[in-house]
Amino acid sequence: MKALKGRDFLSVASLDSSELQELLDLAIEMKAGKVKPRCEKVLGLVFYKASTRTRVSFSTAMYQMGGQVIDLNPSVSQVSRGEPLSDTARVLDRYLDVLAVRTFAQKDIEAFAHYAKIPTINALTDREHPCQALADLMTVKESFGQTKDLTLTYVGDGNNVAHSLLIGCAMVGMNVRVATPAEYQPDADIVEQAKAIAGGRSEVLVSNDPAAAAKGAHALYTDVWASMGQEEEARTRIPLFQPYQLNEELLKFADGDAIVLHCLPAHRGEEITDGVIEGSQSRVWDQAENRMHAQKALLASVLGAL
């Protein structure tokens, strides 16, 4: 993946369709031990939001390649005292080889990428979660041997995960359906972007009907009903989102060999039942592990370690 060397990864759409497929294949090969990159570089993590999987998976991926990681917690850096983002980014550019930023506004990660010459990776913003989508698509490809002509249905909040899935599925030729309450649909511009990428070759559907969206799907996916920063309204959302729970009844509408996905952390009994997440069709733990493999492939590619 020499074409990715030195590039930023701010959105799934930072790649073209062939690059995305190549990256997924590379991640699968790395997981199987067929490709073992060495990369004695330094990754900086700037996380304004709490993290378990993203922090540990990036760190482990870098360590396994022979690199180092510096956890730049904003609360113990000059960022907490008001240092401009532009100044921080230009200084980190002089010390590090690659930067992963987990923050709120998309414009902030775009600013990091603008001021830092090193590759900048979106480790989550309110708009997108592209590294999660890499792991999700990798898990589907592992499970079915392909992505084309399959259908992934996402139910719940039309959030950053839904946004990245819409774009990512369209790019790899998967049908993607998103079912949400009317007030919580994904951003219209993201939906239009996904439809443009699909070009009529695959389905991009947004609806309020979870059963219809789940019919015949090969993957059913959900996320928490209130994302980070929305905790105060979480309780009030439950009655509205209850019809969108990924439960045993909804799973019956899907294909008989369908898999269940959740990006975690999960609120069992809310967006997903315990029986479904622990059931035989769940691939949630493979999906979580694949964060590390997908991000290792991404890091090796942008650092030119292949």
Side chain identity at residue 260, one-letter code:
V
Tens of pLDDT, residue by residue, the chain (306 residues):
789 999 999 999 999 999 999 999 999 999 999 999 999 999 999 999 999 999 999 999 999 999 999 999 888 788 778 899 999 999 999 999 999 999 999 999 999 999 999 999 999 999 999 999 999 999 999 999 999 999 999 999 999 999 999 999 999 999 999 999 999 999 999 999 999 999 999 999 999 999 999 999 999 999 999 876 666 676 789 999 999 999 999 999 999 999 999 999 999 999 999 999 999 999 999 999 999 999 999 999 999 999
Helix, strand, or coil (residue 63): helix
Residue span(s) of the chain under CATH 3.40.50.1370 come to 2-128+291-302, 132-287
What is the distance between the alpha carbons of residues 205 and 214, in angstroms, rounded to a whole number?
11
Strands in 120-124's sheet, in edge-to-edge order, are: 68-71, 42-47, 98-102, 120-124
Side chain identity at residue 201, one-letter code:
R
CATH architecture type of domain 132-287: 3-Layer(aba) Sandwich (3.40)
The set of catalytic residues is 102, 129, 132, 223, 263, 291
Q: How many CB atoms lie within 10 A of CB 53?
A: 18
Task: List the one residue out of 155, 164, 150 whose CA is nearest residue 212.
Answer: 155
Q: Residue holding tokens 């997981």?
A: 31
Predicted local confidence at residue 228, as pLDDT: 65
- For 221: left if phi > 0, alpha if psi spans -120 to 50, otherwise beta; the answer is beta
What is the distance between the alpha carbons of residues 197 and 53, in angstroms, rounded to a whole number?
29
Angle of helix 188-198 relative to helix 160-171, nearest 10 degrees, comes to 10
Is residue 306 within 8 A of residue 300, CB to CB? The reply is yes
Q: Residue holding tokens 């009844």?
A: 249
Residue 24: φ, ψ to 5°:
-65, -45
Three-point CA angle 45, 48, 49, nearest 5°: 105
Which superfamily, per CATH, for 2-128+291-302? Aspartate/ornithine carbamoyltransferase (3.40.50.1370)
What is the distance between the alpha carbons of residues 89 and 87, in angstroms, rounded to a whole number?
5
Identify any residues that bridge with 268 across adjacent strands, giving them in sequence order: 272
Predicted local confidence at residue 169, as pLDDT: 98
Q: Is the pTM of this model over 0.95?
A: yes
Residues 6+ apart with CB under 8 A from 19: 1, 3, 4
The DSSP annotation for 67-108 comes to -EEEE--GGGSGGGGT--HHHHHHHHHHH-SEEEEE-S-HHH
End-to-end CA distance of the chain: 7
Q: Residue holding tokens 């249905």?
A: 153
Query: What are the CA-CA distances from residue 2 to residues 11, 25, 90, 306 (Å)?
Result: 19, 15, 25, 8
